[in-house]
Copies of this chain bind each other. A is one copy, B any other.
Amino acid sequence: MPKRLAYFGPAGTHTEQACITYDRAAARIPFATIPLVAAAVDTGQADEGMVPIENSVGGSVSATLDLLIHDSTLFIRRELVLPIKHFLLARRGAEVRNIKVIFSHPQALEQCQGYLAEHFAQAEPIASMSTAAAVEEMLKRGGGAAAIGTERASTLYDTEILARGIEDHPNNMTRFVVLAPKDSPRTGDDKTSICFSFDDDAPGILHSVLEEFAKRGINLTKIESRPTREELGRYIFLADLEGHREDTIVREALDRVRVQVSLLKVYGSYPRHRDPL
């Protein structure tokens, strides 16, 4: 039986593209929100769930971080890093000079702001709930409309491609994670994601936590503080570190951290993403 893979949909988004890259044979089940993806895995409706966690231009995906911090006991089983290419799509036969309105999610419109100002200064941007919804609305509107969407959406909806790669930042990448009831076994080239927080905000507690990793030569590939939902100015720290939670030095460091903090959650260990050569 193929794997049942829940994802933050609808079809035609970058997250669906990540699912195809991860496991082409999986049965893909779209959900409208990130919490619903996690719920599908929790209840056994899906085996695993694919969600975006971080974008090189937009930063962290809050809904995913909040899910991991507050609302889920799922593990991170895999990470994937994909280039994000925005395409300008229109109805078959539409012509660039007739485009009067451009649909997309506000974030995609923002990421293509420079391109739109240069080539479509007169066109009106219109917000949609997702880049896939933008393509649907564009098709309903007709030949004077375009939408910013994915290459995958151009296939799914059989659209014209007016332009490719219109994002302002050429290195627009998104990191996706696969959520599952279990993380991955050791491969020797792994990462581990954790979060921690303190009751006390005395100077130096963060420093003394990081010292446990530094003195064992464990590199942090990411650290981020997020405000707790309760109060701006109180933070939960999220960190990614090199190594597997079953590696001796990682296990030692985590044990030493655990006694210093009020909360430590280990989201799991998984093979580090490496671009195929």
A interface list, Cβ under 8 A from B: 33, 54-60, 62-63, 65-66, 81, 105-106, 109-110, 113, 125-129, 133, 169, 171, 173, 175, 201-204, 206-208, 210-211, 213-215, 217-233, 235, 237
Query: How far is it, in angstroms, between the C-alpha of A133 and the C-alpha of B237 when the chains are bound?
Result: 35
Within the complex, the shortest CB–CB distance from A132 to chain B, in Å, comes to 12
Judging by beta carbons under 8 Å apart, are A62 and B56 in contact? Answer: no
Query: How far is it, in angstroms, between the C-alpha of A237 and the C-alpha of B220 when the chains are bound?
Result: 12
Closest chain B residue, CB of each to CB of A63:
B110
Query: How far is it, in angstroms, between the C-alpha of A82 and the C-alpha of B53 when the chains are bound?
Result: 27
Judging by beta carbons under 8 Å apart, are A129 and B113 in contact? Answer: no
The interface residues of chain B lying within 8 Å CB-to-CB of A63 are 110
Query: How far is it, in angstroms, between the C-alpha of A217 and the C-alpha of B204 when the chains are bound?
Result: 7
Closest chain B residue, CB of each to CB of A220:
B206
Query: How far is it, in angstroms, between the C-alpha of A201 and the C-alpha of B219 when the chains are bound?
Result: 8
Could you tell me the dominant secondary structure of chain A's interface residues?
Answer: mixed
Name A224's contact: one of B66, B128, B225 (CB within 8 Å): B225
Query: How far is it, in angstroms, between the C-alpha of A86 and the C-alpha of B246 when the chains are bound?
Result: 46
Judging by beta carbons under 8 Å apart, are A229 and B169 in contact? Answer: yes
Within the complex, the shortest CB–CB distance from A234 to chain B, in Å, comes to 9
Within the complex, the shortest CB–CB distance from A31 to chain B, in Å, comes to 13
Query: How far is it, in angstroms, between the C-alpha of A119 and the C-alpha of B223 when the chains are bound?
Result: 38
The interface residues of chain B lying within 8 Å CB-to-CB of A221 are 201, 233
The interface residues of chain B lying within 8 Å CB-to-CB of A223 are 206, 223-225, 235, 237
Judging by beta carbons under 8 Å apart, are B219 and A222 in contact? Answer: no
The interface residues of chain B lying within 8 Å CB-to-CB of A224 are 223-225
Query: How far is it, in angstroms, between the C-alpha of A219 and the C-alpha of B220 when the chains are bound?
Result: 21
Within the complex, the shortest CB–CB distance from A192 to chain B, in Å, comes to 14
Query: How far is it, in angstroms, between the C-alpha of A66 and the C-alpha of B56 when the chains are bound?
Result: 11
The interface residues of chain B lying within 8 Å CB-to-CB of A201 are 219, 221
Within the complex, the shortest CB–CB distance from A29 to chain B, in Å, comes to 20
The interface residues of chain B lying within 8 Å CB-to-CB of A173 are 227, 231-232
